[in-house]
Structure 1
Amino acid sequence: MLIDGHLDLAYNAARGRDLTLPLAALRAADPVPGETATVTFEELRAAGVRVCFGTLFALPATAASPQGYTDPAGARAQALAQLDQYRRWEDAGWLRLLRRREEVGAHLAQPGGPLGVVLLMEGADPIRDADDLPFWVDAGVRLIGPAWGRTRYAGGTNAPGPLTEAGRELVTAMRDLGVTLDASHLDDAAFWEAAELGPQLIATHANSRAFVPGNRHLSDAMARAIAASGGVIGLVFLSTFIRAGWELSQPRAGLAELAAIARHYAALVGWAQLGLGTDLDGGFGREKAPAEVERYRDVRRLLAELPEDARAGVAGENWARWLTHAL
């Protein structure tokens, strides 16, 4: 059994990818240039993925992505369209949306069946304000990362800064409604403010700053804080997050290097707090995945690089424990 803490499924559908196709067929007709796809529903099933955290990811406008949102209404429209995509997939039998810990437990207890998906909002700009949070909870969102880059709520990746006043209100509302905070993209200042407010903490997809500098990655102190709250940290399958200074012209980082990051985390917080958060096809393709990963089903190759007694936990049991007790 695998559980993946971070997959941008609906975002990829919004880019024109049909994840219901076999991988070869998707690659043959892939509308996304320069990013060879690795993820389809068939690939996830072949890998043994039983549950994943599926994102609602609204893409902000940048020079590279001028079609992204420029205001909260645009962010909300993207997230609502992705929410509708998950519901349509559920209606067609491709997945099952899981909203409560009891549903996760029942899903994991049943062999076979569709992919289980827990909804994660990555970047909180689609939320109008703290009073709007119940709408998204009712829609099935159970985890929220307040930042991606900078948002109206928090400083984030390559955008240092604390929580804003609206961010403090949102994180407080998350705590009160039992919505878990995904710290993966939070800047340090925002992270420590959020942690002090007391929501449940996890990091769905975050490697270690001890290996790659920058505020996109967790410091040792941040990793300890997440583990102290009972949270799990997901390992990211992206070469730039595995080897400092990696560039596309170089050989891809190896799974042994990712395993070294896992061992570092384990020395800090124990193997029971580690899982997968591959982020595969999350804005990158096979070209930037680890060298041994040509398609999603190759994710399992990481396990051979880990201590035997840690493999089942990292593969899915640690996320399963968290989901069935904390969701």
Structure 2
Amino acid sequence: MTCARCWRWCLRRWPVLIDGHLDLAMNAADGRDLTLELDALRARDPVLGQRATVSFPELRAAGVRVCLGTLFALPRTPDSPHGYTDHAGARAQALSQLDQYRRWQDAGHLRLLTSRAAVAAHLADAAAPLGVVLLMEGADPVRDADDLPFWHQAGVRLIGPAWGRTRFAGGTDAPGPLTPAGRELVQGMAALGLTLDVSHLDDASFWEAAELGPALVATHANARALVPGNRQLSDDMARAVAQSGGVIGLVCLNRFLRPLPLGSLDRVPPGDLAAHAQHYARLVGWAHVGLGTDLDGGFGAEKTPAGLERYRDVPQLLRALPPEVRAGVAGGHWAHWLTTRL
């Protein structure tokens, strides 16, 4: 049986989740020990005000087989006084997180995956630990386009040029086009076969980048038609991602599911996630809809839909979807993308 047939057989036999966006190393940098059972992690959680939902045992219990794990360098802001202020600082954060993933791999907690064949073989191995494909969220750790081969060799397979504004692009709440360095970055990514994560790109940067021809995904981005703002995808953006063959990951943060004030603790109904999924499906078809929960990505269970108290509750959110599409949204669509386009 070929690897492709193996993983498809496994998806039919076992419930499988693939998450398009988890900030695992960022959480470790914040002092969280993700090797613990979730209740033990919560009992000693150093991150105040965010009730943890993710640990390696918790992901295993939920049935998560693969995720896109981020290298996320945090810039200095009034709320983050120890963030980076230049390329060197951003690079140091990303390299530290890369080392964290490698140490987890050495300890058997995860397996880093860098090719289509590796993902297919991993999905066919039910006893394997969590598989992780590396995604750089915000490209400031990259010196310039000539630095891309270093990161590719290190295992990075997707890059999102922006978070807020970066040296390369306008981003969330920071409108603007690609910078000249950003255009060179995206051209270099296309040449190396690195995928562009458009999740945080401002509209102007998005359309400039799309014209340069890289493969596109949106690892964690909900629909602007339901929640206004440049953090979400417009309908035309969603169509462009789908036309590239990409997948759009659904985010579990309440204010990305329904318009809510920043900091709101109002819990939205679980059906709100299904509403975004159904909106995308009407635009581009179910084959381009997946999960990108972003759980513990700067927020905790208190800012997730009602009933989502820990990661193993994620499958319950899919019950609001038609039964015939649940397996694809849970993991099948990302599995197809990862084994055919990564």
Work out whether 1:298 is the aligned partner of 2:313: yes
Q: CA deviation at 1:181?
A: 0.1
Q: 1:179 aligns with which of 185, 194, 197?
A: 194
* Contact 1:95-1:116 within 8 A present in 2 as well: yes
State the 1:248 CA deviation.
Answer: 4.8
* Matched position secondary structure for 1:154: coil
Give the aligned partner of residue 180 of structure 2.
Answer: 165
Please name the residue that 1:97 is paired with: 112
Residue of structure 2 in register with 1:135 after alignment:
150
Q: Is the Cα contact below 8 Å between 1:248 and 1:287 reproduced in 2?
A: no
Instruction: Return the offset for 1:291.
Output: 1.0
Per-residue Cα deviation, 1:102-152 (whole angstroms, up to 9, x for no partner): 000000011121000000000000000000000000000000000000000
Q: Does 1:242 align with 2:270?
A: no
Cα distance between partner residues in 2 of 1:98 and 1:300: 24
2:83 counterpart of 1:39: no
Q: Deviations over 1:84-109 (max 9, x none)?
A: 00000000000000000000000001
Cα distance in 2 for residues equivalent to 1:248 and 1:226: 30
Tell me what 1:225 maps to.
240
Residue 245 of structure 1, CA deviation: 2.1
Q: What is the deviation of 1:255?
A: 1.4
What's the counterpart of residue 212 of structure 1?
227
Query: Is residue 239–residue 246 contact of structure 1 (8 Å, CA) maintained in 2?
Result: no
Return the match for 2:334 from 294, 319, 322: 319
- Tell me the distance in 2 between the aligned counterparts of 1:245 and 1:146: 27
Aligned to 2:72: 57
1:289 shift after superposition: 1.1
> Are the counterparts in 1 of residues 265 and 303 from structure 2 also a CA contact under 8 Å?
no
Task: State the partner residue of 1:73.
Answer: 88
Match of 1:276 in 2: 291
- Aligned pair count reads 327
Q: TM-score if structure 1 supplies the norm length?
A: 0.99
C-alpha contact (below 8 Å) 2:254/2:260 kept by paired residues: no
Q: What letter matches 1:286 in structure 2? A: A
How far did residue 155 of structure 1 move?
0.2
TM-score norm. by structure 2 comes to: 0.95
Where do 5+ consecutive residues of structure 2 fail to align? 1-15
Which residue type is aligned with residue 234 of structure 2? S
Identity value in percent: 73
Note the aligned Cα RMSD (angstroms).
0.8
Are residues 247 and 159 of structure 1, via their aligned partners in 2, closer, same or farther at CA, if it must alter by over 3 Å?
closer
The code of the aligned residue for 1:302 comes to: L
Distance 1:319 1:67, change over 3 A: same
Q: 1:299 to 1:171 in 2, by over 3 A?
A: same
Q: Please give the alpha-carbon distance, in whole angstroms, between the structure 2 residues aligned to 1:294 and 1:230.
A: 33
The change in CA–CA distance for 1:249 and 1:103 in structure 2 (over 3 A counts) is: closer
Cα displacement (A) at 1:247:
5.7
Give me the whole-angstrom Cα distance separating, in 2, the residues matched to 1:43 and 1:305: 22
Match of 2:29 among 14, 19, 23: 14
- SS of equivalent to 2:176: strand
Match of 1:3 in 2: 18
Shift of 1:246: 4.6
Question: Which amino acid is the alignment partner of residue 121 of structure 1?
Answer: M
- Return the alpha-carbon distance in structure 2 between the equivalents of residues 138 and 18 of structure 1: 27
The match for 2:325 among 305, 310, 319 is: 310
